[in-house]
Structure 1
Amino acid sequence: MRQTTVLVVDGSASDRQKLHQILDPRVQLEEAKSGMEALTFVVQHHVDLMLLASKLPDMDGFEVLRRLNLEPRFKELPIIITTHEHSQKAEAAVAMAGGFDIIRKPFVPIIVVKKVEQVLEMEYLHRNLKKEVHRQTKLAEDRLASSERLFEETVMALAKTIDAKDAYTRGHSQRVARYARHIAFKLGWLEEEQRKIYFMGLLHDIGKIGVPEAIINKTARLTDEEYSKIKQHTVIGSEILELVAEFPELAIGARSHHERYDGKGYPDGFAGARIPIYARVIAVADAYDAMTSKRSYRGVLPQNVVRGEIAKGRGTQFDPQFADVMLQIIDEDEEYILHER
């Protein structure tokens, strides 16, 4: 273990010798006879504590202290001023200059030892506290990263489970999540908001877990009763996701992604701004994927048809703002490759 190094800065040989007699062998003592010598030494060597005389041959000890305080790397170097001054004014001057403490001359051995030990103990605790804080912070960051990875993997697994129920919509949830995040990105939403809507997109159809596969995979026209059961996936999904207290938006996306801007959607018949903003984004992304994915009753629709449907639904099925962003994305996708990724 490295021994504690104390630098004695004093022009008086007798005072330096006295400190050696008092502090040896408790610490490793180094000496400097002037201010410049002290400034040079601390640049080249590690110092745990400086005992700095208030009067030096080349400059005032307070000038040395001032110069050290100008350097960020020396800001935490504890400095005790040694002085013949015995007034409260001297103590105030040391405190104002940033000195840690004051030791008066002529030296009283027990006082010197106690003050040096006190400073070194406090520095040891401070240094180790910083290390412990850093260690605990790193542990917390690692746990958070691990927790976030677990959450993402769990959500992804659920999304794949949902999509596996429908032979014709494999990857639907992931694509909707990706499109929704892309819309949010185009809108200039913060990264955290983009992340939220991505996960909401992944789980927007989780309620289909409660819908019979025979209905989900039916190729013929659905009866009114079957369609009613399909619509229940929004309510079932929101009830499942309401259990995730730390992420309440998940339930919103699941419940409201089939609401229409004109109020003719389900399950609540909300219109306009009453529909949660996340759900309005997911609704556009969901419709785009429905039209650009192969279905049991048709193939992938041509891009111009998809664009026309989005444009037609602007202000009725879709929030105009988000429909416009989706139209912009479609126009930028000249090769029609977005739906293939």
Structure 2
Amino acid sequence: MVVDGIDSDRMRLQQILEPRVQFEGVKTGGEALTYVKQHTVDLLLLSVKLPDMDGFELMRTLRADSRYEDLPVIILSSDQTQKAEAAVVMAGGTDIIRKPFIPIIVVKKVEQVLEMEYLHRKLKQEVHRQTKLAEDRLAASERLFEETVMALAKTIDAKDAYTRGHSQRVARYARHIAHKLGWLEEEQRKIYFMGLLHDIGKIGVPEAIINKTTRLTDYEYGQIKQHTVIGSEILELVAEFPELAVGARSHHERYDGKGYPDGFAGSQIPVYARVIAVADAYDAMTSRRSYRDVLPQDVVRSEIAKGRGTQFDPQFADVMLQIIDSDTDYQLCEH
């Protein structure tokens, strides 16, 4: 749904988006509120300037109603400054599209947000279905949950032509570390699932950036880094398994505080994420890339040792080094 007081802008968006999406356009904030309460709206494209109210005021009104607090909102603005982007984030907006409209940017951003919304809904439906099944068939529902998580992990890995199987390997390595540490079986199971879904936020990153073989621009690298936040927001919906969101958000934090997205250091970083960070780095070095083959085992060991206490928690780096030393035939790598 588009809310914009300028007729020509609404018509331009309609030309760009139809027939890809079902289009509905209104002129005022009052009309938008009435429409939203009477119809199902998947995405709101909202102009900052409306005839009867400020666009941010309309968004705050919607956010105050629990029925619409998660409604994705893309702000339409002619303001080209970074300050405008900050204002959108602070107000709870999903993204910003600048005027005058560039068709390919409009289409890409709308499709990306709609894809995210679809995934949100599918996850909510799956969690609800799993909970109901668990009342009568706990074991069966757990198997189904694992299959669903595995399918989601494979979907994410498929976005990157050079990291097929990455999530499964990270999950396996993380569980191996947990096992060596003597964690309870339930804790090992948790970190396995967290490893499977640690990169789920890549669903919100354009494939062209993920699969780019040349050096990333600062903007593109910023987009890549956002996968931690996006993944956390997606997995926060799984209320029965809050640790999933922790693994997605914090697996790129560094022990010395130089990681992202929060710049946590040491014990500030959730323990599960510290384990996944080691497993993730290990798989990155022991997997093939477009520009290189699997790194030699001695090089991998040296890099893990070098990152001890800086990139990695020393305790978990030491366990990974023990695992490497016991892998005399170098089986723990992509074959």
Normalising by the smaller structure, the TM-score range is 0.5 to 0.7
Letter of the 1:220 partner, please give it. Answer: T
Aligned partner of 2:258 in structure 1 is: 264
Aligned partners of 2:247 and 2:273 also within 8 Å = yes
Deviation (angstroms), 1:311: 0.1
Q: Residue 145 of structure 2 aligns with which residue?
A: 151
Per mean C-alpha deviation after superposition, the further-off stretch among 166-175 and 293-302 is 293-302
Aligned residue among 304, 328, 335 for 1:334: 328
Q: Of residues 230, 240, 244 in structure 1, which corresponds to 2:238?
A: 244
CA distance in 2, matches of 1:140, 1:317: 39
Are 1:234 and 2:213 counterparts?
Answer: no
Matches within 5 A, 1:11-160: 143-160=137-154
Which residue identity lines up with residue 196 of structure 1 in the other structure? Answer: K
- 1:306 aligns with 300
What's the CA shift for 1:340? 3.9
Relative to the length of structure 1, the TM-score reads 0.58
Structure 1 segment 132-281 matched on structure 2, within 5 A = 143-281=137-275
Structure 1: gaps (5+ residues):
1-138
Decide whether aligned partners of structure 1 residues 250 and 298 sit closer, same or farther in structure 2, where only a CA change above 3 A counts.
Answer: same
Q: Deviations over 1:172-213 (max 9, x none)?
A: 000000000000000000000000000000000000000000
1:319 corresponds to which letter in structure 2?
D
2:199–2:248 Cα contact (<8 Å) kept: yes
Shift of 1:229: 0.1
Secondary structure of 2:333's match?
helix
1:5 aligns with: none
Measure the CA separation in 2 of the matches of 1:140 and 1:191: 19
| Contact 2:150 2:196 (C-alpha < 8 Å) held by counterparts | yes
Shift of 1:140: 7.0
Cα distance in structure 1, aligned partners of 2:298 and 2:215? 26
The SS at the match of 1:170 is coil
2:239 maps to a residue whose letter is A
* 1:228 Cα offset (Å): 0.3
Greater C-alpha Rg: 1
Whole-Å separation in 1 of the counterparts to 2:277 and 2:332: 17
Identity of aligned residues (%): 90
In the superposition, the TM-score normalised over structure 2's length comes to 0.60
Gaps (5+ residues) in structure 2?
1-132
Identify the residue that residue 297 of structure 1 maps to in structure 2.
291
